[in-house]
Amino acid sequence: MIWDKEHECMPRPELEQLQLARLQETVQRVYDNVPFYREAFDNKGIRPGDIKSLEDLRLLPFTIKQDLRDNYPFDLFAVPQEDIVRLHASSGTTGKPTVVGYTKNDIDNWADLMARALTMAGATKKDVVQIAYGYGLFTGGLGFHYGTERSGATVVPISGGNTKRQLMLMEDFGTSVLCCTPSYALFLGEAAIEMGIDIKKQLKLKAGIFGAEPWSHNMRLELEKKLGIKALDIYGLSEIMGPGVACECFEQNGLHINEDFFLPEIINPETGEPLPYGEKGELVFTTISKEGIPVIRYRTRDISVLHAEVCECGRTMVRMERVTGRTDDMLIIRGVNVFPSQIESVLLEIGETEPHYLLVVDRQGNVDDLEIWVEVSEKMFSDEVKKLEHLEKKLRREIASILGISAKIKLVEPKTIPRSEGKAKRVVDKREL
């Protein structure tokens, strides 16, 4: 089943015509309404009228996460605040998050693109869809929620966590499609076995739509076997829209990018040069229908490869390979984006420790575990235990409030964290995906 055959299967020449018209309109709109873009275009000597073909996209300047931060909170919005009906946010590299705003049309389009994803996973009006992505400022919960309602299926808006309850409702409500991070799906599978639930007999699960963090082919096989489902990948990022920028069909041969809304490019992350289809590099997206916060050539830092061949399913949209890594040091822990620099700024702000730290990430029974090693001063270490306990508590609280996830704190003696002569090594990631 295809939700919007007219667009998802559009012949290439027609699609390109639509893309060009939308790109030209977007470029004009940001030039007229967003001082940041007007200045960036002027600096490159580019006028909206210079964009005459899709190839001219490469004339435009890039946007990076720091630009959203520099324009915090609303300065990249292309419409007045009264036209914004919703805000979402994700982790910034330090204290302040990256904020995005949606108009009524943006929310409407997003729901439609998510309905494409749900339909790709086989969801119909007869299905019960359990949304175990977090609801709130994170785009996962509400993005899936609106899309599922649009598709006509029944939503169970349970949000993340509360595993036993998830499994109880899954059985009682006859959930057939599960939406959550792949690591949580695996955790749910294991918890079900522990609770003595015969997954294939007692549950009606048939598909899972998993994303928001990297996962491997082996993880897919494991999930499909354990849960007796078809496990599909979904990709997105809040700066572009949220989940639903691209999603997998039953062919499982890459994620269809919703190219009538987002123009994808792969660039060499070192030089910024666009690379041809089939080559690995950094994904860059330009939104061509967004009103609230349109973005031009946004550098995602995600590494992937694009393929243009038409898929067996009939969809003509370009496919991206599963994301295999990032060009920066962002970690995704329990589905939450974490930058080492966020932790550094908490430490510096508190000022009671040395500025040496190490993030140790592991996966215990399919749940990510973050331990932060922090060096304390000679004096502090020889002080009473009470003081150390107090400091540990304070760090734990501050970090939880900034990151939105809990972390264990391990206070270590001075000079125990290895020093490096070049780039400091801040992360030890022991997870095997």
Task: State the distance between the two ends of the chain, measured CA to CA, in whole angstroms.
Answer: 31
Q: How far is the CB of 93 from ligand DLL (least distance, A)?
A: 13
CA dist 284 and 63 (Å) reads 9
Q: How far is the CB of 241 from ligand DLL (least distance, A)?
A: 9
Q: How many CA atoms lie within 13 A of 108 on its CB side?
A: 6
Cα–Cα distances (Å) from 205 to 24, 116, 177, 231, in that order, read 44, 19, 6, 11
Question: Within its chain, how far is the Cα of 131 from the centroid?
Answer: 16
Nearer to ligand DLL, 332 or 424 (CB): 332
Nearer to ligand DLL, 93 or 353 (CB): 93
- Please give the residue whose beta carbon sits closest to ligand DLL in the complex: 211
Q: How far is the CB of 116 from ligand DLL (least distance, A)?
A: 14
Nearer to ligand DLL, 106 or 302 (CB): 302
Nearer to ligand DLL, 329 or 344 (CB): 329
Which residue(s) pair with 357 in the sheet? 374
Nearer to ligand DLL, 26 or 300 (CB): 300
C-alpha triplet 234, 238, 242: angle, nearest 5°: 35
Nearer to ligand DLL, 256 or 356 (CB): 256
* Structure tokens that stand for 229 in this block: 């489902």
Q: Which stretch of DSSP H or E encloses residue 428?
A: strand 427-429
* CB contact burial 391-405 (16+ within 10 A = b; e otherwise): bbeebeebbeebbbe
CA dist 366 and 402 (Å) reads 24
Question: Does the bond joining 73 to the residue before it have cis omega, within 30 degrees of 0?
Answer: yes
Q: Which residue has the tokens 């995005």?
A: 100
CA dist 338 and 93 (Å) reads 8
Which residue(s) pair with 242 in the sheet? 237
Q: Which stretch of DSSP H or E encloses residue 156?
A: strand 154-156
Cα–Cα nearest to 304, from 222, 207, 231, 233: 233
CB 325 within 8 A of CB 202: no
Q: How far is the CB of 362 from ligand DLL (least distance, A)?
A: 19
Cα–Cα nearest to 185, from 249, 116, 241, 130: 130
Nearer to ligand DLL, 98 or 353 (CB): 98
Q: How far is the CB of 211 from ligand DLL (least distance, A)?
A: 3
Nearer to ligand DLL, 48 or 160 (CB): 160
Q: How far is the CB of 416 from ligand DLL (least distance, A)?
A: 31
CA dist 147 and 152 (Å) reads 9
Q: How far is the CB of 292 from ligand DLL (least distance, A)?
A: 15
Residues that bind ligand DLL (CB under 6 A): 90, 133, 138-140, 211-214, 233-238, 242-243, 300, 302, 323, 326, 332, 337
Q: How far is the CB of 214 from ligand DLL (least distance, A)?
A: 4
Q: How far is the CB of 238 from ligand DLL (least distance, A)?
A: 4
Nearer to ligand DLL, 367 or 411 (CB): 367
Nearer to ligand DLL, 31 or 339 (CB): 339
Q: How far is the CB of 13 from ligand DLL (least distance, A)?
A: 30
* Structure tokens that stand for 132 in this block: 């175990």
